[in-house]
Amino acid sequence: MASLKIENASWIITVDPKRRILRNASILIEDREIKQVDKTEKLKNQKADKTIDGTHRIVTPGFFNNHMHISYAHAVRGIFPDDLPHQTYLSYVFKLQSAMTPEEEYYTSLLATTELLKNGCTTIVDPGTIKDLDSGIKAIEQSGIRAIIGKEATDMVNPLNIHVADTKQAKQEIEEVIRRYDKKLNGRLRAWAMPFHPNYCSDELLSAAKEIADKHGVGVTTHIAGNEEQTKSFTAQRGNKPITHLSEKGILGPNVLLAHALAVSDEEIDILAKTDTKIVHCPPAAVRGSGATKLGKFPEMVAKGVCVSLGNDAANSAYYLDLIRTMYLAAVLYKDARQDRRLIPPETALEMGTINGAKALGLDGITGSIEPGKKADLVLFNTRRPEWRSLFNPVNSLIYAADGRSVDTVLVDGKIAVESQRATYVSEDELYDKVQQIGEDLLRRTGVSFKYPWPVE
């Protein structure tokens, strides 16, 4: 049995049930699990096959990015001008993605997972847009990240270039993906039902997705109420607001994770709390014109006990994938919008990115905090950097001062994925060059191009 010890970390932010922060402490890992977490002195006689020096390091649980399309956007990150209407942007997204080959999806997914891991993210939900699942999963397997995947399902005509399946076929596909992939990769891979968006899914399909998920003991995730327009058009179409409608149809519950949830009413927050439906807030995507601070009621959701986790969204919606920056946004946006500095304290933001992330995925029994018996999904930050000094309150410093640049070492399932700031499973420079080439080829093949304000000579 392989063992690993993180020796004498300066600080360990456990996010355990008591929210203990340990100074000068060590972590003993055996096989894939955390065996002991205690003061350095108490574990000094415990030997391991490999030791990581924790001096000047802060250890946190691995972060959760619960809404992160990994498979296409890295090839063409940054091509879209800001003034492109949102629907037009989305139609380009699906046009470009549908033109990708499985090999291209593998490399772009590998780059996405590499960027995520290097910023301390150890678990992701890809909300169903990997076109060739085997290629995406190959990247997940190689990088070692923990992932929930699925296949987007849509059975209504949509303006987004998403393939419209007939309802029966869409239901079969949802079940097939769960049967084929759930609990693979040593249990690190989970497969969920992923109806793309209630605006483009029939009630029959949405209900079936929930029933199939319940039957297989997995979850459901869907985009919802991402801006005012989406909620208005849903209400015009079905006669009720989306979350109210899903509730009336029996489609909500503890295994349902709703992404975005910006244009939501107060009554709908009560419904979320009552049904224990989970939320993933994507601040970096929301602040790009969707109305995060005007519409978002995340402090109210937190106050009412709704489990709010965090996500970024695709690299062309969020641009960056660093969940520490996302926790920062969650902590500051609503303070400013409401002029109330008490809203979403840094401790709450850190919970959203760790233990709430795990709860939202039904994984809090195995990950999301640093406790004996949990999987070793851990991040070591190097605090010998300017942004970490001076250091007195590590939670304040992590959320407000630091970001992913100081992530030094990352473990997932007890395995080292990032060491001394480099990915252990891939030649990073070759990967960067490869994805640049894929992006150039993809734009040439599809004829997609945009004019930018400043001349390039």
Residues contributing to the site for Zn ion (CB under 5 A)? 127
CB nearer to Zn ion: pick between 127 and 136? 127
Backbone angles phi, psi at 13, to 5 degrees: -90, 100
CB nearer to Zn ion: pick between 360 and 407? 360
The answer for residues whose C-beta is within 8 angstroms of residue 420's C-beta and 6 or more apart is 408, 409
Question: Smallest gap, in angstroms, from Cβ of residue 337 to Zn ion?
Answer: 23
Measured CA to CA, the distance from residue 265 to residue 143 in angstroms comes to: 40
Does the CA dihedral 118-324-109-442 come out positive or negative? negative
Residue 270 CB neighbours (<10 A)? 15
CB nearer to Zn ion: pick between 32 and 223? 223
Question: Smallest gap, in angstroms, from Cβ of residue 313 to Zn ion?
Answer: 5
Question: Smallest gap, in angstroms, from Cβ of residue 184 to Zn ion?
Answer: 23
CB nearer to Zn ion: pick between 127 and 242? 127
Q: Is 120 left (phi over 0), alpha (psi -120 to 50) or beta?
A: left
CB nearer to Zn ion: pick between 65 and 275? 65
Question: Smallest gap, in angstroms, from Cβ of residue 420 to Zn ion?
Answer: 33
Question: Smallest gap, in angstroms, from Cβ of residue 387 to Zn ion?
Answer: 30
CB nearer to Zn ion: pick between 127 and 219? 127
CB nearer to Zn ion: pick between 94 and 388? 94
SS3 228: helix
Question: Smallest gap, in angstroms, from Cβ of residue 304 to Zn ion?
Answer: 25
Transcribe 393-414 into DSSP letters: -HHHIIIII--GGGEEEEEETT
Question: Smallest gap, in angstroms, from Cβ of residue 223 to Zn ion?
Answer: 5
Report which DSSP code applies to 73.
G
Closest CA to 401 of 419, 381, 415, 417: 381
Structure tokens at 59: 């250890």
Measured CA to CA, the distance from residue 337 to residue 360 in angstroms comes to: 26
